[in-house]
């Protein structure tokens, strides 16, 4: 679990878009999953299929939770029994298996976020990219999303790279933290290493992290 922290405008979304090949960098090189990016369309598609991205404001389609989750793998030639099994396990991960038939448009913000994460995981990505997954939801829902992420890391062989502007969340979730400021990763390390300065200097020095 790699958590990028940084204030608004520091470049978190841009970094995730570049990592997911949704946007191209104006300079520099990009290496993903051990390979240099660029080159053929086939290479690009192959890489994109090994990753999944959940935007900051996730989308729910006007259909049942179950169908929402199953959506992305319908065209990948996976057997329907296999799809059903994956959907059931993802429904359990959302904590909403009890109302799998409900229309997803009736879900709260936090529930929609959990649904979108489950949908992204259905294609069994090696890397799951999440852009501020808890930015727009209430505190109790934040904990439910965090619990889901911890469960995913424990159960799946998926690397999560996510952004947040919440330092305490980074402390709770991250194996490694990256501090982004003005489009530059200023520090990368374990939470203990990155937050050491904060503990030494008191809370007022949180702002130093971003300077
Ligand atoms: N496609 C783009 N081209 C040039 N600048 C951009 C583009 N997208 C965002 N920016 C700018 O890059 C900076 C970082 O934006 P963003 O990645 O959205 O930050 P964050 O997600 O951390 O709030 C902002 O100043 C924004 O206006
Ligand atoms: Mg952003």
Q: What are the sequence ranges of the domains in the chain?
A: 2-25+35-209
Pocket test of ligand 1: the residue of 6, 9, 16 to mutate, having most ligand atoms within 8 Å of its CB, is: 9
Rounded distance from Cα 13 to ligand 1 centre (Å) = 7
Ligand nearest to the CA of 8: 1
**Closest ligand 1 atom to the C-alpha of 165?**
22
**Which residue has the least CA distance to atom 14 on ligand 1?**
11
Predicted confidence at residue 73, as pLDDT, reads 78
Q: Please, what is the average pLDDT of the chain?
A: 89
Say what percent of the chain tops pLDDT 90: 65
Ligand nearest to the CA of 15: 1
**Which residue has the least CA distance to atom 27 on ligand 1?**
9
pLDDT in tens, 97-128: 999 999 999 999 999 999 999 999 998 899 99
For the domain 2-25+35-209, what is the CATH code? 3.40.50.300
For ligand 1, residues with CB inside 6 Å are 6, 8-14, 23
Ligand nearest to the CA of 165: 1
Alpha carbon distance 195, 123 (integer Å): 35
Predicted confidence at residue 203, as pLDDT, reads 47
Name the token pair of 164.
């947040």
pLDDT bin (cut points 50, 70, 90) of residue 19 is very high
Rounded distance from Cα 9 to ligand 1 centre (Å) = 6
Rounded distance from Cα 132 to ligand 1 centre (Å) = 14
Rounded distance from Cα 147 to ligand 2 centre (Å) = 22
Rounded distance from Cα 201 to ligand 2 centre (Å) = 28
Contact residues for 16 (Cβ-Cβ < 8 A; gap 6+): 4, 53, 129, 131, 161, 163
The pLDDT of 43-70, averaged and rounded, is: 92
Alpha carbon distance 135, 109 (integer Å): 10
Supply the DSSP string of 111-165, one letter for each residue: HHHHHHHHHHHTT--SEEEEESTTTTS-HHHHHHHHHHHHHHHHHS--EEEEEES
**Which residue has the least CA distance to atom 16 on ligand 1?**
11
pLDDT bin (cut points 50, 70, 90) of residue 204 is very low
pLDDT in tens, 168-192: 999 999 999 999 999 999 999 999 9
Rounded distance from Cα 4 to ligand 2 centre (Å) = 11
Predicted confidence at residue 209, as pLDDT, reads 61
**Closest ligand 1 atom to the C-alpha of 15?**
17
């Amino acid at each position: 679990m790699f958590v990028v922290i940084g204030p608004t405008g520091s470049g978190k979304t841009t970094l995730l878009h570049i990592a997911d090949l949704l946007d191209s960098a104006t300079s520099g090189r990009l290496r993903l999953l051990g390979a240099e990016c660029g080159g053929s369309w086939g290479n690009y598609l192959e890489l994109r299929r090994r990753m999944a991205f959940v935007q900051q404001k996730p989308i729910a389609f006007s259909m049942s939770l179950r169908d929402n989750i199953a959506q992305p793998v319908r065209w990948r030639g996976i057997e329907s029994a296999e799809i059903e099994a994956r959907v059931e396990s993802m429904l359990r991960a959302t904590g909403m298996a009890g109302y799998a038939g409900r229309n997803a448009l009736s879900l709260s913000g936090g529930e929609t976020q959990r649904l979108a994460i489950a949908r992204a995981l259905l294609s069994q990505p090696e890397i799951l990219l999440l852009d501020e997954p808890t930015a727009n939801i209430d505190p109790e829902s934040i904990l439910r999303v965090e619990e889901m992420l911890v469960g995913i890391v424990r159960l799946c062989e998926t690397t999560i790279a996510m952004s947040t502007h919440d330092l305490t969340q980074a402390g709770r979730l991250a194996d490694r933290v990256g501090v982004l400021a003005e489009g530059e990763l200023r520090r990368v390390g374990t939470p203990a290493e990155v937050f050491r300065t904060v503990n030494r200097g008191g809370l007022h020095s949180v702002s130093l992290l971003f300077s």
